[in-house]
Amino acid sequence: MAYEVHPLTEGFGAEVIGLNLAAEMTPEEFAEVRDLYFGKSVVVFRGQELAPDAQAAFSRRFGGLMIHVLTQFQIPGHPEVLELSNRLDADGNAIGFEDAGRYWHSDISYNTEPALGTMLYAVDIPPEGGDTFFADMAAAYDALPEDVKQKIEGRGAYHSYTINYKSNESDAATRPDLTEEQLASLEDVLHPIVRTHEDTGRKALFVNPGFTYRVDGMDKGESDALLQMLFAHTQEERFLYRHVWRPHDLLCWDNRSTMHHATVYDAQYTRHMHRTTIQGPRPV
Ligand code: OGA
Ligand code: MN
């Protein structure tokens, strides 16, 4: 299996060229890919030809696949593949989730057992815009002053999906109302502010502006101040990577050590992606 690996930033992220993920892989070859993915946190595999089944099969090698709460946006016949799209069907209805997160977040951090990783396959992308930003939460943790590390060690914070569901204008306009059933499946959860990566052993910050709203055991003022400080810190330029999409990219990110956010694009263009989401463990 000969392929090239290039770094995406000085710290995290890698670009892989010349590897066909739809082809057979030995356990040794797979171990190499997995080590790269978990070691670099964000990996883009360029030039893939991945049918939904092949994407699901590759994703499943890392763990069980999660079914998103917005079940209306599954690919028919492939419940574990979510469509992110601004395309409309013949009746003018959205076929996919138009905006999967134009705020910083770690996928499904509002579940007791959040997503380990997410894989997004670019079927159709706009000529400009629609980039995705990533923040290296392990590097951000490492760079914290000692007194802050001590303050957050062993502390928890609450996460919720509904807190920001329609918090900005574009989300309020495009996101469907959650049904009673969808709401009933969502419960706020408490996660450690600092989590330890199960595979690399590295510590990372596990709070995000999208879903984290309250530090446990602090009053609102103190909690807001701490969260705002951590959010500003993690968004510093030195921890960021901006992914500019190419068609047929499969972009894989580790939600345990990164957070990300989508950016806007001109609605006259089509942006169409297939997403698979890998089940993770309860953060510790
Ligand atoms: C996601 C997500 C970002 C994007 O699928 O979880 O946040 O740029 N997507 O589409
Ligand atoms: Mn996301």
276 Cα: distance to centroid of ligand 1 (angstroms): 11
Structural domain contains residue 66: yes
Q: Give residue 102's pLDDT.
A: 86
C-alpha 270 to ligand 1 mean position (Å): 15
pLDDT tens for each residue of 19-39: 999 999 999 999 999 999 999
Residue 103 domain-assigned (yes or no): yes
Average pLDDT over residues 255-280: 96
User: Which of 97-106, 137-146, 207-216, 235-244 is least confident?
Assistant: 97-106
Mean pLDDT of the chain: 93
CB 130 within 8 A of CB 247: no
Report yes or no on 165 lying in a domain.
yes
Question: Taking CB atoms and a 6 Å cutoff, what residues make up the pocket around ligand 1?
Answer: 84, 100-101, 107, 118, 120, 132, 260, 262, 275
- How many domains is the chain partitioned into structurally? 1
Measured by CA distance, the residue closest to atom 8 of ligand 1 is 262
Quick: pLDDT tens for 128-176: 999 999 999 999 999 999 999 999 999 999 999 887 766 676 677 777 7
Q: Which residue in the block uniquely carries the two structure tokens 């082809």?
A: 23
- Centre of ligand 1 to C-alpha 106, Å, is 10
Is 206 a member of any domain?
Answer: yes
> Which residue has its alpha carbon closest to ligand 1 atom 2?
100
Looking at the CA of residue 132, tell me the nearest atom of ligand 1. Answer: 8
CA of 273 to the centre of ligand 1 (A): 9
The pLDDT value recorded for residue 242 is: 98
28 CA distance to ligand 1 middle (Å): 30
Q: Is residue 284 part of a domain?
A: no
Taking a 5 Å cut-off on Cβ, the residues next to ion ligand 2 are: 101, 107
pLDDT at 180 over 80: no
In the prediction, which pLDDT does 171 show? 72
Q: Is residue 195 part of a domain?
A: yes
Answer yes or no: is 218 within a domain. Answer: yes
Q: Which ligand is nearest to the CA of 84?
A: 1
If you measure from the C-alpha of residue 100 to the centroid of ligand 1, how many angstroms do you get, rounded to a whole number?
Answer: 5
Q: Which residue has the higher pLDDT, 188 or 266?
A: 266
| Model confidence pLDDT, tens digit, residues 52-94 | 999 999 999 999 999 988 888 899 889 999 999 999 989 888 8
Q: What is the CATH number of the domain that holds 9?
A: 3.60.130.10
Q: Nearest ligand to the C-alpha of residue 120? A: 1
Give residue 55's domain range: 4-279
Residue owning the nearest CA to atom 3 of ligand 1: 262
pLDDT score of 207 = 98
Three-state SS for the chain is: CCCEEEECCCCCCEEEECCCCCCCCCHHHHHHHHHHHHHHCEEEECCCCCCHHHHHHHHHCCCCECCCCCHHHEECCEEEEEEEECCECCCCCECCECCCCCCCECCCCCCCCCEEEEEEEEEECCCCCCCEEEEEHHHHHHCCCHHHHHHHCCCEEEECCHHHCCCCHHHHHHCCCCCHHHHHCCCCEEEECEEECCCCCCEEECCCCCCEEEECCCCHHHHHHHHHHHHHHHCCHHHEEEECCCCCCEEEEECCCEEEEECCCCCCCCCEEEEEEEECCCCC
